[in-house]
């Protein structure tokens, strides 16, 4: 059972790479962003609560996200493993995942850190706003807020994995074209 985590700022290409990786290695793609957007679309009580938070560029509460993940993992049967995309985004979420995996006698095989300068992420999200019209991409102030949230709450997760899972921690050059980023990631997964 493989457990692979994709971590990085908004617009670093987590979702883009996750789709290709999960397909190639037959992993269950677990995107907290996608699950939350589906809840918003279905106008569930959780979705209504999450929409306002996401539209402000903030993170949804740990309690909501951790429960969502627990349900997702429990409901998934017959898989080669999980690809976590956009989760964990806080140290509390990382600790909760660690606990869940320990209970299942599993560990983390790779943490892929998507690295690039901020201006690249901003350009990509603005381009996506034109193409897909995602409400949290539309306003530059919201994009900047997401980056601030990232540096305050998610960057410490990168440091947590660097320190506690040193051998499983990999830095990916996410500024390259999509195909090249994917090739670099495959080289790592093929060695696991």
Sketch the per residue contact string, 108 through 127, with ligand B4P: x for CB under 6 A, - otherwise: ----------------x---
Query: Restricting to residues 28-67, which ones interact with ligand B4P according to CB under 6 A?
Result: 32-33, 36, 54, 59-60, 65
CA distance 111 to 183: 16
Question: Do residues 12 and 49 lie in contact, with contact meaning Cβ atoms separated by under 8 Å?
Answer: no
Interactions with ligand B4P, residue window 143-182 (CB under 6 A) = 146, 177-178, 181
3-class SS of residue 153: helix
Stretch of residues binding ligand B4P (CB under 6 A), selected from 11-19, 39-47, 70-78, 102-110:
11-19
Q: How many beta carbons lie within 10 A of that of residue 179, not counting itself?
A: 8
Q: Annotated catalytic, 146?
A: yes
Instruction: Give the C-alpha separation, 96 to 106, whole Å.
Output: 13
Strands of 169-173's sheet in order across:
28-31, 81-85, 2-7, 110-115, 169-173
Q: Is 124 one of the catalytic residues?
A: no
Are the C-beta atoms of 110 and 4 separated by less than 8 Å? Answer: yes
Among 3, 4, 5, 12, binds ligand B4P (CB under 6 A): 12
Q: Is 97 in the site for ligand B4P (CB under 6 A)?
A: no
Which CB atom, from 110 or from 147, has the smaller least distance to ligand B4P?
Answer: 147
Q: Which one, of 28, 100, 41, 35, lies nearest residue 64 by Cα?
A: 35
Q: Applying CB under 6 A, what is the total number of residues that bind ligand B4P?
A: 25
Residue 185 is a binding residue for ligand B4P (CB under 6 A): no
- Residues near ligand B4P (CB under 6 A): 10-16, 32-33, 36, 54, 59-60, 65, 86-87, 89, 93, 124, 128, 136, 146, 177-178, 181
């Amino acid at each position: 059972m493989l457990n692979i985590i994709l971590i990085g700022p908004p617009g670093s290409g987590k979702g883009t790479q996750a789709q290709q990786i999960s397909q190639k290695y037959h992993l269950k793609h677990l995107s907290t962003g996608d699950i939350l957007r589906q809840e918003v679309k279905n106008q569930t009580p959780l979705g209504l609560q999450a929409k306002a938070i996401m539209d402000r560029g903030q993170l949804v509460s740990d309690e909501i996200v951790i429960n969502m993940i627990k349900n997702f993992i429990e409901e998934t049967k017959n898989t080669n493993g999980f690809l976590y995309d956009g989760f964990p985004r806080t140290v509390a979420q990382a600790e909760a995942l660690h606990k869940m995996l320990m209970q299942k006698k599993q560990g983390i095989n790779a943490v892929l850190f998507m690295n690039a300068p901020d201006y690249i992420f901003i350009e990509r999200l603005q381009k996506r706003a034109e193409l897909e019209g995602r409400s949290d991409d539309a306003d530059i102030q919201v994009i900047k807020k997401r980056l601030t949230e990232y540096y305050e709450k998610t960057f410490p997760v990168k440091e947590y994995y660097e320190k506690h899972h040193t051998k499983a921690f990999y830095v990916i050059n996410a500024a390259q074209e999509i195909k090249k980023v994917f090739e670099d990631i495959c080289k790592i997964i093929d060695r696991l």
